[in-house]
Each structure stands twice: as structure tokens, then as C-alpha cells.
Chains A and B, each alone.
Chain A
Amino acid sequence: MSILLFAESQQGKLKKGSTELSSYGFALAKQQNTTFTIVTINCEDADQLANYGASKLINLKMETKHFEAHAYATALAEIATKEDAKIILIGSSADAKYMGGILAGKLQAGYVTNVVGLPTSNDPLTVKRSVFSNKAFANTTLAGAINIIGLSNNVHEEISQDSSTTVEQQDVQTTAKCTQASLEQSEGKATIADADVVVSGGRGLKGPENWGLIEDLADVLGAATACSKPVSDMGWRPHSEHVGQTGKPVATNLYIAVGISGAIQHLAGVNASKIKVVINTDPEAPFFKAADYGIVGDAFEVLPKLTEKLKARA
């Protein structure tokens, strides 16, 4: 038995979450008294994961250059079988969640998503996962012959090891089911999924013309920008920025909410963030009950000052 870990990359470069996942992989292997293998696909800098304690590091070279869920799932199912993996570790990105179900179906494996820590028991394999949009956790046992663990973002400490695993290259052949007609990707900009800081604006900002305030603050912090649901419904911002229970989930280190009241559906989606700061004119806004730090004040006055001071500090 061994553990197989899939570290994602994009345009040949490892994604940010891959080091956290690898650290988790090491801790899991230790706990399970076994070894783990890291697999990447079409990745040029897989050697960056050499010092995370994996016994093997395999880069699969595939014809399809971009991520294609069916091809990736097929390749991973194949290598998991070859490596006799009993646990497969994947992340929580949009790609991982897209591919995970297909992979589980192919291997007839057990699968849980949004796992927040190491297994609490090995027999049967039991993990804690977040459910009801972060309003609860469910301790869940897995009964597959092979089981897939989907690790949440930002739940495990990054620790490198004293190892120097070398990268093995392998060719794989699989067929895709979807053909990419076009791709539109923001280059070099932090995304809500993997930014350390997210700056989010609500209806309190009054209109799209004021979003410069949010963007300026995000720029100094290297943060991604997000918004509440009505803001995207009104077309002030694109849907892709809508966060909350019915939008994107946020599990970042620092979430700054500006002019957002903190409705239950909004909080559900952002509560997994470690530190929440709220800026709101209304001291009764429900967000103050969920936040770590708060300023009762006008966004139009507070934001420029905050941005300026952070700029001066940088």
C-alpha cells in the first residue's frame, strides 16, 4: 500500500497549493506508516517538490498540453493502479474538484472533499470534512478499497524535509473528451482560490465606479478581489468574483470585507478564512460578529488611508 499525491501545475509551473498538499502527504504517509509518491502532469518545475519527503516524484508527459479533466483522471487512475496506491491525495482547486469525481468513478474509489486535517483514525479510515458551507464538520469514514482525500485549502502547515527526491519522467497516452476552443486567463494576478489575501466589496461601495478603492488596496497587498452576490447580480463586477455560499468559497489567510453586511449566505462562503477584517459604517452589521478585527467607518475614508499607509510601509 502506498499514497499517491497529485500536485497541480498550470502552464508548466507548480500551483501554489502543491507545497501544502505535499507537506500533508508527508505527514499522512508517516501516520499511515508508508511512503508517498508525488505525481505531476506536464510540469517543468516538479523538482521544486524534491524536499517534501516523497519516495518518488513522477512527471507524466501528456500530449494534451492544457488541463483536461478526463485525460488527467485517466492518467492518474492508471498510475495509481501501477503504484498500488490505496490513498490518493488531491487539492481543492476548481480543476481538482472537476477531476476528482471522474477519478473516483474510474477507480471505484471512495472519495471525500473539503477535508480539513489528517485522518483521525486508520481503521476504518476516518477524516473530518467541512459541510453545510462551513457551518459544521462531519467525521466521515471511507469504505473504498482505494480512497481519495480532497484536502481543503489552507488547513495544513507547510514543512519541507531533508530529502532530495529526483524527478522521473514518464510518457502517458490518454484521450480527451473536451476540446479547448479558447482560454482566457488572468496572467500573474492572484486568484480567489490561491491568494493569501482577498479584498472584497459589497453594496456599501455604492457603484462600480468606486471599485478603484478595492483594487488599489488589493494591489498593495497582492490580493485577489471579490464581491458580494448583489454586486455581481447588478453587474458591477463579474460573476467570477461572487463569493459566498452560492458563489466561490474563500479560505484565505486574510479576508477584508468592505461595505458588506455579513448575511448568513455570504459568511458561509468566507468563514473558512483565517483572519477576517470588516469595514462598515453600521456597527450593528452582522459581519462584526464573525470578524476578528473591525472598523466602524466609511469605506470612502478608510480605504484610501489604509492603502496609503500600506504603500508607505512596503
Chain B
Amino acid sequence: MNQPTYYELYKLLCTHNNLKIFFIFVFHLFLMKILVCISCVPDTTSKINFKENDTVFDDQGVQFVINPNDEFGLTRAIWFKEKVGAFVDVLHVGQASADPTLRKALAIGADKAIRIDTPALDAFVVADQISNYLQANPYDLIIAGRESIDYNGSMVPGLVAAKCDIAFVNTCVQLEIDGSTATATREMDGGMEVLSVDLPLIIGSQKGLVEENDLRIPNMRGIMQARQKPLEVVTAVESLAKSAIQNFEKPAPKAAVKLIPADDIDQLIDLLQNEAKVL
């Protein structure tokens, strides 16, 4: 039989209710603590429309989901929890409308959710809140998506790294942890690099960290358990936005496609060369 991991041992001991508190305390000393920062974004199929004179995103009929890049990170965190033992918390900066998304994170395996209760005005506000939370609640590994698919800022993990003066590895596609050091593979333009870095570490997660079919769909048991798990609402500290959206614009409508017969490749080459001027 395989050696039981800390986490399995922990689960076993925790079935003894009166010992639970004690063991949670003891295991907190041993197990890695992971914080996954989660953004709630419109589902990828959403129609993007604006209201109030194009100043506000129109969320009517829009389904919100965990940002895909964050979900890859969360899934890797849960993998750590199950394979080597870890406490996995998820954190969201925003308002109560995100609570169902946080419950989903709990249903697929996170232990605790934290919501810092303030409108996520921009990346600076979000990063300030996360950094402030980290000062009082240290974690070994912090995971944030490399970018959120709504505002595409790609800013939060770098800002947090600078504020907390911890190491950051972006576009992380592989992550192993051994004691207090991590080996992280970063995807670059046209290559990969393997980095060795001390914890605490923040990564920008994306696909590759886990595969598409490792992603989890909450099952009934998970959903029931999620209801019992803590969702802490934390008061925000004061922080100022450094950017503000004045209004949105939609791209100009596209001209109709020019169809070229399949047997007239010369015409395509001619158009690309002389009309589009891209050859």
C-alpha cells in the first residue's frame, strides 16, 4: 500500500469530531496553503452588449462562470490537495452576485471561500485587496489566472507580486512543489523555460497546468458539502482605482467575405497580394 499522505491522515483523524479542531491546528503546521484568486466572468458564448449610453456592461441574460484561466489553476490546487495534501482557499474581490460562483469552487473541492466585499473597480483595487489579505493571512502558493477573459488586463498577479515582494511566474503550464521550492514551467513566445523559485510564489495560471478533461463538474455530493463550507465575507480596506472606463465601443461591422472558387487559387493569391497587400 502507498504511504498515506498527510491529507489522507488528516481526513481520517478528522472523522473523530472532538479531535478535529486539534488536528486542524496540527496539520496547518504541515500542509501547504494555497490561495486561488477567482474572477467571475461572462461565459465565453455571451453576447457582449452595453447599456446606459455604452458606459456599463449589460449583464442581462449573461451567465457568469469562473474565469477559465483561474479554473485551470484551481484544478491544479485541488490536485495538490488530493495528492500531497494542501488547504485550498478561493478568494474573490467583488460583490454578493459572485457567491454562486464561489460555491461552485467549493463544490469542486476548495475548502473555504473568501469574498472581499467591494466593487472590483479595476486591477489596482483587486490587487490592493488581495495583497492586504495576504499580509494578515500568509499562503505558500497563490494562484491567479494569467488574464481574465472579460477585461483581459493581465495585471493582477504581477501587481500582487510587487506589493507583497514575492516571486511571480506567469503563463505557468507546469508546477511541481518540493518542500519550500517550486519548479515552474513558463510558456514564452516561441518556447518554454523552467524556473526554480522559492515559496511563497504567485503564478499566473492557464491551460496546460491541467488538461481540459481534468476540469471538474460539481457533483451532488460536492454541492451538498459546499453548503457547509465557510464563505467568509471580509470588509475591504480603502483603495483607489488608478483607471476608469469612460465608455465602450463595438468594433465596426465587417464587410462581407469575398468568396473565391476552389479551383481559382491564382485569384486568391492575387487578392492577397494586390488588394489586401499582405503577401
Contact = CB atoms under 8 A, between A and B. Distances in A.
B30 to A, nearest CB: 25
A172 to B, nearest CB: 18
A104 B94 CA distance: 22
Contacts of B138: none
Interface residues of B, number: 84
Nearest to A97: B154
Interface string A34-47: 00000000000000
Given A98-B158, A101-B154, A305-B265, A293 B271 contact: yes
Given A132-B48, A136-B251, A295-B259, A141 B154 contact: no
A137 B251 contact: yes
Q: For B186, B262, B272, B278, which residue has the most chain A Cβ atoms within 10 angstroms?
A: B278
Interface stretch (B14-22, B78-86, B191-199, B229-237): B191-199
A246 interface: yes
A111 to B, nearest CB: 6
A138 interface: yes
A138 B242 contact: no
Q: For A179, A191, A278, A295, which residue has the most chain B Cβ atoms within 10 angstroms?
A: A295
For chain A, give the interface size range: 35 or more
A143 B194 contact: no
Interface string B58-95: 00000000001100000000000000000000000000
B135 interface: no
A80 to B, nearest CB: 14
Interface stretch (B1-9, B100-108, B168-176, B219-227): B168-176
A93 interface: yes
B262 A295 contact: yes
Given A137-B249, A140-B245, A302-B265, A104 B257 contact: no
Interface string B21-62: 000000000000000000000101100101000000000000
B278 to A, nearest CB: 4
Given A102-B168, A137-B251, A292 B258 contact: yes
Contacts of B170: 69, 94, 97-98
B192 A142 contact: no
Given A69-B168, A94-B170, A133-B149, A296 B193 contact: no
Contact of A102 (B162, B171, B261, B266): B162
Interface in A277-291: 277-278, 288-291
A86 interface: no
A125 to B, nearest CB: 10
Given A142-B243, A180-B194, A101 B257 contact: no
A139 B245 CA distance: 6
A265 B44 contact: yes
Contacts of A290: 254
Contact of B262 (A135, A178, A278, A297): A297
A296 B262 contact: yes
A113 B159 CA distance: 13
A175 to B, nearest CB: 11
Contact of B272 (A70, A114, A254, A288): A254
Given A239-B207, A301-B262, A93 B249 contact: no
The A interface is mostly helix, strand or loop, or mixed, namely: mixed
Contact of A268 (B44, B50, B156, B208): B44
B249 A136 contact: yes
Nearest to A112: B243
A233 B211 CA distance: 7
Interface in A244-291: 245-247, 253-254, 264-265, 268, 271, 274-275, 277-278, 288-291
A242 B265 CA distance: 27
Interface in B131-166: 147, 149-163, 166
Contacts of A306: 265, 268-269
B257 A294 contact: yes
Interface string A18-33: 0000000000000000
B279 interface: yes
B180 interface: no
A242 B162 contact: no
A139 B247 contact: yes
A181 B183 contact: yes
B44 A245 contact: yes
B254 A294 contact: no
A82 interface: no
A156 interface: no
10 contacts: A113-B152, A140-B244, A141-B244, A144-B242, A178-B169, A246-B206, A265-B44, A275-B272, A277-B268, A289-B254
Given A179-B196, A274-B276, 8 more contacts: A66-B193, A70-B167, A97-B154, A101-B127, A132-B48, A140-B245, A182-B194, A264-B45
- A-B pairs with lowest CB-CB distance, top 10: A101-B158, A105-B162, A297-B262, A191-B190, A185-B191, A193-B189, A177-B167, A110-B242, A98-B170, A254-B278
